[in-house]
Amino acid sequence: MENWDEVRTAYNVARIGTVSGAAEVLGVHHATVIRHIDALEERLGVKLFQRHARGYTPTEAGEDLLRVAQATDDQFNQLAGRIKGQGNDVSGELVVTSVGGLSHLLVPVLAAFQEMYPALVVRYLTGDRLFRLEYGEAHVAIRAGAVPDQPDNVVQPFFQQQFTLYASESYVARHGLPKGPEDLPHHRFVGADDPKTRAPFLRWLQDNVPGEAIVFRSGDVHAQRNAILAGAGIGFTSVLQAAEMPGLIQVTPPRPEWAAPLWLVTHMDLHRTTKVQAFLNHLKERAAAWPVT
């Protein structure tokens, strides 16, 4: 609000009745109080106070100003209390973002956390778009791949996802398993529909399998998994996800170069809030039970 300092000064003069008392409450010199009152009266074109030996008494216009300033001050105090509460309580909204392929890991964690804090509303945002923490789009991001390097973010190593090739029982019954690298061109594969994919295992697939052998392609990781399960071809999925999908056969053991590191990312302004810290601790405790191979 423009000139709020002058309005606040006038409010305190009207409330207390003296320039010296208002100056003490505001922590300013009494000359500053007088200057604010004079400037505000000049700007409004009315007298806000009657000056007398005992102090200042509000005029009718001053009483109007006092009521408006009182309501505004109360609203500011209420707002400050709500904002403070948002920093100290596990309530309101918790916004978490990740790539969609992690939903099988994160949804149970988020559901359990929300059950612990019933006043909390959980929003889980997925997709390939990089949600901007500095713009308040999310409280916590779980990101895969190279170390995130956006400024003003706190980045912590989280989990190393192991990936390898799987085939369904129906696929193996029809086509068998590759006997070695030289046999890969003779098999059918499921892959990403993105030549610029950042996933290390999918880049390996593009570099080591002929394009014509990747017969089922999708930009949706869930569709890729379902295609593998349906027997469309051999494809990559995480070891953790495969353990929850009956009917899959591991084609080859996981390789270190196929692993996808996960990172916890928070903005420095929110990192130490009670809500964010409570969720990070909960997430790390649950992830400690995830098998790594």
Cα dist. 10→3, 44, 148, 230, 279 in Å? 11, 12, 51, 75, 45
CA 123 to chain centre: 9
Domain range summary for the chain, segments of one domain joined by +: 4-82, 88-161+260-288, 163-258
Q: Domain 88-161+260-288 class?
A: alpha beta
Among 180, 179, 166, 277, residue whose Cα is nearest residue 227: 166
What pLDDT is recorded for position 102? 84
Same fold, 4-82 and 163-258: no
**How many percent of the chain have pLDDT more than 70?**
94
pLDDT tens-digit readout, 217-267: 998 888 999 999 999 999 999 898 898 889 999 999 999 999 888 999 999
Residue 95 contacts residue 126 (beta carbons within 8 Å): no
pLDDT of residue 116: 94
Q: Which H or E element spans position 267?
A: strand 260-267
Comparing 75 with 189, the larger pLDDT belongs to 189
Q: What pLDDT does 250 receive? A: 95
User: Which CATH number does 4-82 carry?
Assistant: 1.10.10.10
Record the pTM: 0.60
Span 185-196, average pLDDT: 92
Res 190: pLDDT? 97
End-to-end CA gap in the chain: 58
* Residue 227 parent element (H or E): helix 221-229
Residue 189 reports pLDDT greater than 90: yes
Task: Kindly report the average pLDDT of the chain as a whole number.
Answer: 87
State residue 14 phi and psi, 5-degree precision. -65, -35
- pLDDT, one tens digit per residue, over 82-135 is 454 455 678 889 999 998 778 888 999 999 999 999 989 999 998 777 888 887
pLDDT band with cut points at 50, 70 and 90 for residue 169? very high
| Contact of 146 with 139, CB cutoff 8 Å | no
CATH class in words for 163-258:
alpha beta
Helices and strands, counts by H and E, the chain: 10, 12
Alpha-carbon distances of 171 from 47, 227, 238, 253, rounded to whole Å: 89, 11, 19, 18
The predicted pLDDT at position 220 comes to 86
Q: In the predicted model, is pLDDT for residue 27 greater than 60? A: yes
Tens digits of per-residue pLDDT, 47-89? 998 988 888 888 988 888 888 888 877 777 665 544 544 556 7
